[in-house]
A and B are shown apart, each in its own frame.
Chain A
Amino acid sequence: MGPYVLRRVLMAIPVLLGTTFVIYLAVYALPGDPIQALAGPNQVISPSVAQALRERFHLDQPLVVQYGLYLRGLLGGDLGTSFTGRPVTEIIAASWPVTAQLGGTAWIIMAVAGVALGVVAAVRRGAADAAVLFGTTLALGVPFFVVAYVTQIVFGVQLGWLPVSGVEAGWPLAYILPGLVLALSGLPQVARLTRTSVLDGLAADHVETAVAKGLTGTAVLFRHVVRNSLIPVVSLLGVSLGYLLGGTVLVEGIFNLPGLGYQIYTAIPQHDGPVVVGIGTMLVLVFLSVNLLVDLLYGVLDPRIRLG
């Protein structure tokens, strides 16, 4: 177990380097001039001020040098400074609780509702199965932001049940709508995989043994079918967290939640490279850690992997 964890942690290093470089490159390749974007679209900046700013943020250097300087800072725990003058670490410290609450809420909704729907569809078949199939297809087909705006209009504006914007209402109220919208991005896959996996599980020979043992229907279903069937689902739930984190950029933007995603959402039009790369790196790190945890949990659920 120990060497395995160490190997996984070491493997994370090249992944981190690669992803930060790609994000860095993407920001660098954005059209337009970051200094002009900082000043505002119609402002005139004197060439000397622009030059000073360029030098301060190393924008006059080639890409590779910029990236090298960035990495050197990273080793010292310095994620750089936003073009607005605020250190990126400070921005992250202020924003992560919002994203953690949003991501956590969405992940729990996705896991609980996805698994429940999948199990019901597999066990009940017929109408329930068709309804889940229809619902998940709809959720897969309708674009993310459409769902977000429609829920805002219906539940926030027309019915007035939940806030449409900001975090003033606190957890859970402020996070229910955005959490739901974010959860919908991964829920169909979780429900579908659970359904397929439970159907396979129901057909397994050891389920006949469980019935022949005289266990109750519930015991057979949950101890001998669902438990086994959840193993691949757990793996998907780990990977889905990555998509959820990516989704926070849009959801926090639409719902005006001041989280990490929101910071990226506002930093991109500003060409604010340090913020985008810093927070991006942060999210990649979270994603890698969660996946490591999920893989370890996988071993707990399936002794064949643990004991090989």
Chain B
Amino acid sequence: MPESPVLTVSDLHVRLGSTHVVNGAGFSLAAGRTLALLGESGSGKSVTARTIMGLIRPPHGRVTAGTVLLHGQDLLAMPEERRRALRSTTISMVFQDALSALNPVLSVGYQIAELFRAHRGMSRAEARRAAVDVLGQVRIPAAARRAGDYPHQFSGGMRQRVGIALAIALRPDVIIADEPTTALDVTVQAQILRLLGDIQREHGTALLLITHDMGVVADMADRVAVMYAGRVVEQATAAEVFARPRHPYSEALLGAIPRPHLRGRELAVISGAPPDLSVPDEGCRFRTRCRYRIEDCERNPPEHDLGGGRSTACHEWEKVGSA
């Protein structure tokens, strides 16, 4: 890989109860770049993100294997106290639904100021000024006045700006954004994505963008990691995936995008259903829905390194995307 990675996830396995939600996920994120973690609901992308942040904890879930290297240090092997100190200062997260992600009974200014008080040791007054400043950075009008308002007094878009303010306040090196625009109106989605992109460029932050939206990937991502059944099945630059996917699932996802010139025809769907992850399976998880299926698919395909940071987990990758 040409650029040095700031965040590297390798062979991550996570169980929620008896379900193996993440099964050997791995990808890396370069400093200042955007990696889209792409997949359908239940593919394990959110759980992967929350595992990186340390939000998956017993008794609800358990990390059974893998490493998460942030600046070369394994977060999963770190004592909790050191890990806590890294949250928000080095790695932070924007949640999907800002309304439920913000505390309803504390003012937004207070909730941002808490970061400066906890990590920078600021006084109440200093922290409050810093919070107003951050609200200004995410372009909330009349930030000084609105800092005293509560989450329910903001519109959806403004609320997600507050969510972004929380994530950028301490200038972390990595921001994880878990479907940050899914809960928003289409018109507001673009504004929020632009804001995230602008901030990322200004601060040189690396962005791990979790999404199921191909349009978002095309707009924002430098690289893409496609997840299926808890595993990253393809990694490539965004341009490469759109030009020629090397995994049948990526190809199927691209095929499912509605296109203007196909107007009036039935929308393409991926036939079949996602696998039941509580049942162990030695084979490729996508084989039941795959049109390239061969006998080898009964054993899980290894990751083929295609060079230039590109990889795919498919026995038949050479045939994929040639159509």
Contacts and interface: CB of A to CB of B under 8 A. Distances in A.
B37 to A, nearest CB: 17
Contacts of B102: 206, 209
B170 to A, nearest CB: 8
A228 B105 contact: yes
B89 interface: yes
B200 interface: no
B54 A206 contact: no
A212 B88 contact: yes
Interface stretch (B93-101, B132-140, B227-235, B245-253): B93-101
B115 A213 contact: yes
Contacts of B103: 206, 209-210, 224, 228
Interface residues of A, number: 23
Given A216-B84, A303-B105, A307-B150, A209 B166 contact: yes
A208 B115 CA distance: 14
Interface in A214-254: 214-216, 219, 223-224, 227-228, 231
Residue among A206, A224, A228, A231 with most chain B CB within 10 A: A206
B101 A208 contact: yes
B87 A213 contact: yes
Interface in A14-48: none
B152 to A, nearest CB: 6
Nearest to B86: A214
A211 interface: yes
B53 interface: yes
Contact of A206 (B53, B88, B101): B101
Contacts of A219: 114, 118
A209 B101 contact: yes
Interface residues of B, number: 30
A304 interface: yes
B4 to A, nearest CB: 24
B270 interface: no
Nearest to B167: A212
Nearest to A213: B88
Contacts of A216: 84, 118
Given A211-B55, A211-B87, A213-B88, A227 B95 contact: no
Interface in A177-217: 204-206, 208-216
B84 A214 contact: yes
Residue among A209, A210, A307 with most chain B CB within 10 A: A209
B85 interface: yes
A303 B153 CA distance: 10
Contacts of A303: 104-105, 107, 150, 152
B119 interface: yes
B92 interface: yes
A231 B105 CA distance: 10
B35 to A, nearest CB: 19
B105 A301 contact: yes
Interface string B64-98: 00000000000000000000111111001101010
B97 A205 contact: yes
A300 to B, nearest CB: 10
A228 B104 contact: yes
A76 B152 CA distance: 49
A302 interface: yes
Residue among A213, A219, A223 with most chain B CB within 10 A: A213
B49 to A, nearest CB: 10
Contacts of B105: 227-228, 231, 301-304
Interface of B: 50, 53-55, 84-89, 92-93, 95, 97, 100-107, 114-115, 118-119, 150, 152-153, 166
Interface of A: 204-206, 208-216, 219, 223-224, 227-228, 231, 301-304, 307
Given A214-B87, A215-B118, A303-B150, 5 more contacts: A212-B55, A214-B119, A231-B105, A303-B104, A307-B152
